[in-house]
Amino acid sequence: MDGDILIRWFTHWIKLKIKIHNHYKEFYFRDKEIWWASLGANIGFEQNGKNESYERPVLVLRKFGKDMLWAIPLTSKNKIGPFYYDLLPIGFNSRLILSQMRLISSKRLIRKVGIVPLTSFMEIKNKVKALI
């Protein structure tokens, strides 16, 4: 990516990040839910968000109180391997990027998309444990 474009991209994200941080919103979220979240403009191979709000769908793997969660980002690209979990059989045209799991603030959550069935969620947790 061109240096000037990269600077504008990060500058835009920093301004949005400040708004997200200062804006109080309380969502009631739970494990197994899929949400759109503002993941930001990240570095290197870290999964970025898309569009003006740097959004990407994420799975809530683990809730830590009302303010923090482990989130696993989704991709619509057809990825196969030990670092991915295909959600297509359960009604989502996406794959989880297990290797990109990260701790995020609930302030990044935007809107709920759906819920992963318990049996699939248990498989996902086992795949994450196998990566460690």
Q: pLDDT for 32-54, tens place per residue?
A: 999 999 887 555 555 556 666 67
Pairwise CA distance, residues 53 & 47, whole Å: 14
CATH topology of domain 3-131: SH3 type barrels. (2.30.30)
Query: What is this structure's pTM?
Result: 0.82
Q: Tell me: the pLDDT tens digits for 55-102?
A: 899 999 999 999 999 999 999 888 889 999 998 877 778 999 999 999
118/124 Cα distance (integer angstroms)? 10
Question: What region does 54 belong to: left with phi over 0, alpha with psi -120 to 50, or beta?
Answer: left
